[in-house]
Amino acid sequence: MSLPKRIIKETERLVSDPVPGITAVPHEENMRYFDVTVDGPSQSPYEGGVFKLELFLPEEYPMVAPKVRFLTKIYHPNIDKLGRICLDVLKTNWSPALQIRTILLSVQALLGAPNPDDPLANDVAQRWKEDERAAIATAKEWTQTYAAPSETEA
Amino acid sequence: MKFAKVFQQLLDEEDLPQEWVAAAIQYKALKKCINKVVTELEDLGLEKDTLQLLLAYEKAQRDASGAAKPKLVYSFEGTATEFVPKITILLNRESGLPLDAHISPDTRARLERLVQRARQKAASNVDARSVTSDESDGSSEDNIYISEDSDVLPNLSSDCLTPVIDNDSLTAIEGVASTRTSFSSEHRCSRDFHSIISPDRSPSLSPSDTDRLVAPVSASTPDLTPSSTATGSEISAASIGTFPEKIEIHLHSDSEFFHMLTSELAALDSLQQEQTKNMTEQVHDLARKLPHVASPLNKKNDLYVWREIFRLYLDAGVFFSSLEQDHGDRSVDRAKEQLLWFTNQVKAMNLEKRFKMKESKEIFEGFWKLNISILQSLQFQNLNQTATTKILKKFDKQTALTTRDVFPSFYFNQTSTGESTSIARSVCFTMAETLMSVIPQLDDYVCPVCYLIAYRPIRLNCGHVFCIRCLIKLQRQVKDECPICRQHVVLEADGYNVDYALQNQMKLYFPKEVKLKLAAAQKEIVQEQFHLGEQKEIRCVIQ
């Protein structure tokens, strides 16, 4: 089936005018499926890490939100073991005027501002509340272990 | 290759209009002037090394304590057209010595003599106190204020010299002469005031020295008028017994250098204004002609071709980039590249051949030439900016004075024109406002949900516009929030929310896009109905 104009336009702009610190490349065989990388924000425990995600645009997009999931392991109170993200704009606060680029920016912002009061990964959120310093240390450790930029990309 | 040569070569090569070349920064002349400044500073005992030491020491002091008083300050005083660059040296009030241990004994001796002169002058010229003393801190401290100027630039020195234009002028002149003598220690030490002004001047005097020293003589002639007495030197102080707090030295060749530079900058500025005016006029001219060939009200028109041209032009972002990674002004080279890209695209798409109207071709040529002119003046502007930066850098390197810190902020504060007002910026603004706006671009008429033309346009009560298809989908999902502003206005929308004026405009300017959109919407409706049927069937099967 032919791709809606909206998806074509968005993809074009992601290529011609990429967001600094974010890449999103569609699969050739399925243009609704994107390989995504997000750089950890500076001055966050995720700084220096490059996180891989997958993004899928459902048939109803943009009337429903894209599906986004972390592929890289990450220690974050709002992201669970399966990489699922607890982010309002991906769920109830989705608006069809939002785009792939704006959603990925929100995801990047979430890394810079973890919210343990609205947890998805309960154990992580618990630790974050009880001993923030230790939790941040673990997040940094995980970033170094799992999100180090691969040499081919560097 | 030396910059002076490169600069001249670029001016010659770029095929610039004669008056531009004439207005360019006189790099070579300015460079010569720097040599004069160096000589003058050497005569004062403020050679490069000394100045460097004084300035470096001052910086270290400030870094350490934060508030330490600078011992030597280089600054500009006055307005953009009338100003004096000066060096201020602070003195120890007890000993009358410069407040710095880092100067060589030689320099110290010269500065001491300078102070000595000032004190003697003070004794004979108490009158001047009222005019020149600086009582800002309310105490009895007074300034020693030494200025040297020449008749080369009479207008600017009048403000600092008025106090001595009276019967005191001769003392003032003596002041300069003997100060001079004491400075030029080894080979000129025996020369006194009279020998200096005598006709058989020593050949070792540089031209600028001669100017300066001869000028006072003319100044002492009886028929002088205030404006023509801008020569000589003034040394004033009071309260004998107390040492002054600081000495101010006004450098003659330094003023010459900066007045030359500022008058050139001003000339460039007016040239630039004229260019901007011309180009803006050209833009308006094109904007007057364009509607005639592109109006959809005419049966034969080039609306779509022109839209394509302007879209390419906007995509090229010739002079400014709107991309996330390199937004802002483009460099000259980049602008050149982008303009080339635009030209090639227009060619590749055969747009010029697609013009139906003869006039379109002329307008396009005008538009293209205009861009070339903007590029050229941008290049010229850049070249002069580089020349200015380079000459200041050279100045600093050879004298150790900190002009690059002091001068640009002084000058650009005084004049309204900063480096930021580029021709490209103002002409491109006019272009977008008056010329591009003649042809509406699709991007300004798309639905923010489906990215197709927002036809038929529904204007929600919050003011945001969507196409009717997307709005119906939202209503079916019972989503009440406007996708843009989240106000609860979607469900209340009905037939009254159709924006008919906008709808007519779209039909007029985007007939093809409207047709496509209607076809797409029709297809969707058919699909929806088919799907509904399909689902019912499946349900039937399950049941």
**Could you write out the three-class secondary structure of B78-116?**
ECCCCEEEEEEEEECCCCCCECCCCCCHHHHHHHHHHHH
What letter does residue B128 receive in the DSSP assignment? Answer: G
Sheet hosting strand B246-250, strand order edge to edge: B72-78, B83-90, B246-250, B143-149, B232-234
| B267/B271 Cα distance (integer angstroms) | 6
DSSP A109-146: HHHHS--TTS-SSHHHHHHHHH-HHHHHHHHHHHHHHH
Task: Say whether pLDDT at A146 is over 50.
Answer: yes
Query: What pLDDT is attached to residue A84?
Result: 94
Q: Sign (positive/negative) of CA torsion A61, A24, A31, A27?
A: negative
Q: Is the pLDDT of residue A154 over 90?
A: no
Nearest CB to B483 within list A5, A9, A97: A97
Distance in angstroms (rounded) separating the CA atoms of residues B509 and B444: 12
CB distance A119 to A48 below 8 Å: no
**pLDDT attached to residue B305:** 94
Encode pLDDT of A100-142 as tens digits. 999 999 999 999 999 888 877 778 888 988 999 999 999 999 9
Nearest CA in chain B to A94: B483
Q: Residue A63: its chain B contacts at CB < 8 A? A: 449, 473-474, 477
A97 to chain B, closest Cα gap in Å = 5
Tokens of B389: 């930066």
Q: How many Å apart are CA B157 and CA B172, to the nearest integer? A: 15
What is the Cα B420 distance to its own chain's centre?
Answer: 5
Distance CA B130, CA B146 (A): 15
Residues B451, A9: C-beta atoms closer than 8 Å: yes
How many pairs of residues across A and B have Cβ atoms under 8 Å apart?
A: 39
Show the beta-strand stretches assigned E in B110-242: 143-149, 232-234
Is A89 buried (19+), middle (13-18) or exposed (0-12) by CB count in 10 A? middle
CB pair distance less than 8 Å for A20 and B324: yes
Question: What tokens does B523 get?
Answer: 């297809």
Q: Output DSSP code: residue A18.
A: P
Pick from A4, A17, A97: CB nearest B448? A97
CA–CA dist B37, B20 (Å, integer): 28
Reported ipTM: the value is 0.89
For B326, which DSSP code? S
Q: Do A96 and B484 touch (CB under 8 A)?
A: no
- Number of Cβ within a 10 Å radius of residue B134: 13
Q: Which range in B413-422, B485-494, B523-532 is most confidently predicted, on average pLDDT?
A: B485-494
The tens digit of pLDDT for each residue in B99-145 reads 554 556 666 666 666 666 666 655 654 443 333 333 333 333 333 34
pLDDT in tens, B263-281: 888 888 888 888 889 999 9
Q: Please list the residues that pair with A79 across neighbouring strands.
A: A76, A85
Query: Residue B58: which of B88, B100, B92 has the closest Cα?
Result: B100
Residue B433 has pLDDT above 60, yes or no: yes
Across the interface, of B324, B452, B486, the residue whose CB is closest to A95 is: B486
